[in-house]
Amino acid sequence: MNKNDYKNMWVYIEHDGKTAAPVGLELCCEVRKLCDRTGDRLYAVVIGALPETELEKVKACGVDGFILVSGTGYDFFNTDAWANAFTVLSRKYNPSAIFVGGTVDGRDFAPRFAVQLETGCTSDAMELDWDPETGDIQFIEPAVGGKIMAVITVPVLRPQVGTIRPGTFPYAPVGAKERVEVIEERIDFDPAAIRCHPVGFIPDENDPELDIAHADCIVCVGNGLKDGEHLERYRTLARLLGGKLGCTRPLYDRGILPYKLQIGQSGVMVKPKLYISFGVSGAVNHTAGVDAGLFIAVDKNPNAQIFNYCDYGIVGDMDEVCDELIARLRAGDGKLI
């Protein structure tokens, strides 16, 4: 395989027929920057119909072109037709890299078409870079329990496939190009060959307390928490601050809080204005998921890693500090600092 035969980068635009999922737009913005360095063109790949207004949003991220796929087999998301579409397209156009949102669907079909193309697929990178010497994309992510940042490349094979978790990159559109190419492809997939069919749809219970990705304030509780009975004070603090509760992975593992509240590399990525952590040691797997305007950390260990990340650190017992903050908020004018 000659790497030079593979050019341009693709971003998959996930959608529900009405709206483009934010992750595709975020990826277009980030991959635009990579393409500006490599000289590649950026194409957005859309499977099935998407309203013009949504395509305009994609254009605003600076794409050079669209690849619009129609045909049979796309009435509902299924990994067979989606993986086939990318395999067929990739064999025809030889892209250098394909980026897919790390959603439930993206994590399903991206590794499958990577296997069909006999290439490499990485998941959950927190940073993307490019090595001009080798021409390889660098997928950078925490590894070995967060002790190191691993740089993963696909050095020999093409295309380089990666799934990236929603919220990893900011949505910062650079504006539409004057000319945007549109390639229309018809790729039929036999519906009889689809191995998974939806048997019903039960919407997720829409508990707004569990939607922390866009919360302005988060009170994050870590493994320092003794047990579930000690949790209520942190809920109270979050309520007083007009914020929401979040947690580290051990709290989910211990069955104290649901997975949707887990913040970090394998959980939710958050960008609050205020983030207060209690009993969180500061593993990079967790902190990589936090982009806070103001970061306050409370931990009893003065040498805890978390104090390297925060703007203000409080060394003390987490329950005592939480109670004190609640008392001050109740006694004062509702301001913490």
Residue whose entry in the numeric block shows the structure tokens 């949102």: 101
Judged by CB under 6 A, the residue of 73, 102, 264, 313 near ligand FAD is 264
User: What is the closest distance, in whole angstroms, from the C-beta atom of residue 277 to ligand FAD in the complex?
Assistant: 8
Site for ligand FAD, residues 168 to 187, rule: CB under 6 A: none
Under rule CB under 6 A, how many of the chain's residues touch ligand FAD? 27
Pattern 269-288, binding to ligand FAD, x per CB under 6 A?
----------xxx-x-xx--
Separation between Cα atoms, residue 297 and residue 71, nearest integer Å = 53
Separation between Cα atoms, residue 46 and residue 78, nearest integer Å = 15
What are the structure tokens assigned to 40, written together? 């590649």
For residues 126 and 26, the answer to whether their CB atoms sit within 8 Å is: no
Judged by CB under 6 A, the residue of 103, 266, 270, 309 near ligand FAD is 266
Can residue 246 be called a binding residue for ligand FAD (CB under 6 A)? no
Nearer to ligand FAD, 120 or 246 (CB): 246
Can residue 300 be called a binding residue for ligand FAD (CB under 6 A)? yes
Pattern 113-152, binding to ligand FAD, x per CB under 6 A?
--------------------------------xx------
Can residue 249 be called a binding residue for ligand FAD (CB under 6 A)? yes
Closest CA to 254 of 219, 227, 230, 221: 227
Nearer to ligand FAD, 58 or 304 (CB): 304
User: What is the closest distance, in whole angstroms, from the C-beta atom of residue 223 to ligand FAD in the complex?
Assistant: 3
Judged by CB under 6 A, the residue of 299, 309, 322, 325 near ligand FAD is 299
User: What is the closest distance, in whole angstroms, from the C-beta atom of residue 200 to ligand FAD in the complex?
Assistant: 30
Separation between Cα atoms, residue 33 and residue 270, nearest integer Å = 22
| Burial call 319-334: b when 16+ CB within 10 Å, e when fewer | bebbeebbeebeeeee
Closest CA to 92 of 22, 184, 181: 184
Residue type for position 248: T
User: What is the closest distance, in whole angstroms, from the C-beta atom of residue 119 to ligand FAD in the complex?
Assistant: 23
Nearer to ligand FAD, 171 or 307 (CB): 307
Q: Which stretch binds ligand FAD (CB under 6 A): 46-54, 68-76, 196-204, 243-251?
A: 243-251
Separation between Cα atoms, residue 40 and residue 172, nearest integer Å = 20
Q: What pairs with residue 1 in β-bridges?
A: none
Give the nearest residue (CB) to ligand FAD.
264
Nearer to ligand FAD, 44 or 126 (CB): 126
Beta carbons within 8 Å of 139's beta carbon, 6+ residues apart: 122, 125, 128, 151, 152, 153, 162
Nearer to ligand FAD, 102 or 264 (CB): 264
Q: Which stretch binds ligand FAD (CB under 6 A): 42-50, 171-179, 238-246, 258-266?
A: 258-266
Distances (CA, A) of 315 to 226, 250, 258, 318, 320: 17, 21, 27, 9, 11
Can residue 103 be called a binding residue for ligand FAD (CB under 6 A)? no
Can residue 224 be called a binding residue for ligand FAD (CB under 6 A)? yes
Nearer to ligand FAD, 80 or 319 (CB): 319
Chain residues binding ligand FAD by CB under 6 A are: 145-146, 222-224, 248-250, 262-267, 279-281, 283, 285-286, 289, 299-301, 304, 317-318
